[in-house]
Structure formats: C-alpha cells, structure tokens
Amino acid sequence: MIIKTKALVIREYIVGESDKYITLFTKELGKIQVIAPKGKKYDKGFASGTQLFVYGEFILTSYHTTYRLMNVEIINMFHDIRKDLNVLSYASYIAEFVQEVTHEGVGQEKLLMLTLVTLKSLMSQNSSLKLMRGIFELRALSILGFMPELEKCVECHEELEENENTVYFFGSEAGGILCNKCSMSYKERLKISYSTLYTMKYIIHTSFNCLYAFNVSPVVLQELEKVCRHYTAYYISKRFKSAEFIDQIEDL
C-alpha cells in the first residue's frame, strides 16, 4: 500500500552498515518507524529529507507494520536549529518529548502543529528558550489529556479569589491549583503568584499564533519553569537525555 503523509522527522539512526531508519511523527498515523533503504540511489533531496527536524510530505510503502520510504518533498528543514547549540539542545528535547508521548496508529494533529510552531519559535528566539520550553510542556500535556485545573481548587472545588497579592498553590499530583486548606495535605505543593497563574491559563487557552509572542518577568519565568518541570516529570516518568544535556550546558 502506498501512503502519502505530512510528517516531521523526530529521530534518525543508522544501524551498522545497513539501512537508515527514521522515526516520523505523522499527522494521521502518529509515530511510525520508517526504513530509508540504503540500496536506493539517493538523490540529494532524498538524503537531506531524512534528517532530524525535516518536515515534509513523505511517500511510503507499507507492508504489515513495516514502512519504507519512497520519496520526500521537503516543506521545512528547520535548518537554523543547528546554528546554535542551545537552540539545538532545546529542539532535541522537544523531539525526545514527542517520541515519548506519541504512539503508532494514534493521530495527534494538534500536538504535531504545536511541535512545528515550537521549532519555528526556537529558531526565532523571540523569547527565552526556558520560557518556550515551559510553554511547550504545559500546552503539550494539556493536549495529551493532562490539562491542569486552574480556575478553582481541584480538591474542594472552591472558587479562588483573583487577586494580585494572593499566593496560590499548585499540586502536580492533584492536577491543578489547590486552596490553602487542601494544599496542606499535599507534600509537594508549589507556590505561585497571580501573574504565573494568569500566564499558565493563557498558555493553555491561547491560539498557536499567539503562544510564543509574549515575555514574562524573571520571577514568573522561575515559577513557571518549576511548575512545568515538576508537572512534566510527574506525568511523564522518563528521564530525558536532552534535558540533562541542557542542564549541563546551562551550568557551564
């Protein structure tokens, strides 16, 4: 069967002397492993079309669960990602993240769109890479079914007052904001300001076009980073090598 699908290359690897393998995040089929046969005479476009971060229209043949690459028309190579080690490390984290949460046969069009928007934003560096990572994590987890409750206490459903001077508590395990009383029964509760809570609501609900078009104060960034990391680690238990690499280069 011949399949034509738009997809992003989220992993490329060569096993010994044999064929090249790529992992594609496709619009309709979710994550699939594809063989890019070495025997095929590569033209230049075919070889560059199988690189990490290439978004294109892929033509594949499928036999049972095996997919082989026939051709690819590149839509965006996201080439500038490689110009900066920091950008490359964050983009690698995004790729590793989607590899972990996507599955074969489960289309995740929204998550694919979010991933593409995020890669574009990482290249433009309009705001800090740390902020973009937090935005991606929170929005991705919301798309994946882990949207945190931010309007009322997730435990007792009490409406929380909206006041710039109020301190709020976020519980990853609880799955959202907790009132002062309910937060006492959670060992791990993260204090966040009104501005951070507001920013989180914005990240979850705004359109993709506006998602990376804002900046925040250093305090909000710090709180947001902490919440997003904690929330991600709670729902995705994998240790991301690329995230560890980011920590290493930022400690230098």
**Calpha distance 238→10 (Å, rounded):** 17
CB of residue 165 to Zn ion, shortest distance in Å: 19
**Cβ-based nearer residue to Zn ion, 153 or 203:** 153
Least distance (Å) between residue 182 CB and Zn ion: 3
Separation CA 193–CA 14 (nearest Å): 48
Q: State the minimum distance, in angstroms, from the CB of residue 188 to Zn ion.
A: 16
Give CA angle at 163 (187, 149), nearest 5°.
50
Residue 65 or 163: the one with the smaller Cβ distance to Zn ion is 163
Q: Match 């995004």 to its residue by tokens.
A: 94
Q: How far is the CB of 27 from Zn ion (least distance, A)?
A: 40
Closer residue to Zn ion, CB minimum distance, 54 or 154: 154
- Bridge-based pairing state of the strands 66-76 and 30-36: parallel
**Count of C-beta atoms within a 10 Å radius of residue 251:** 6
Instruction: CB nearer to Zn ion: give 112 or 182.
Output: 182
Six-digit token pair at 252?
């230098």
Answer for the pair 72, 59: CB distance below 8 angstroms, yes or no.
yes
Contact present, 231 and 138 (Cβ < 8 Å): yes
CB-based contact 34:61 (threshold 8 Å):
no
Considering the complex, what minimum distance in angstroms separates the CB of residue 177 from Zn ion? 9
For the CB of residue 56, give the shortest distance to Zn ion in the complex, in Å: 49
> Based on CB atoms, which residue is closest to Zn ion, 157 or 241?
157
> Tokens 């400690």 map to which residue?
251
Alpha-carbon distance of 232 to 228, in angstroms, equals 6
Contacts to Zn ion by CB under 5 A: 153, 155-156, 179, 182
In sequence order, what are the beta bridge partners of 95? none
Burial class (CB in 10 A: 0-12, 13-18, 19+), 170: buried
- 88 or 153: CB nearest Zn ion: 153
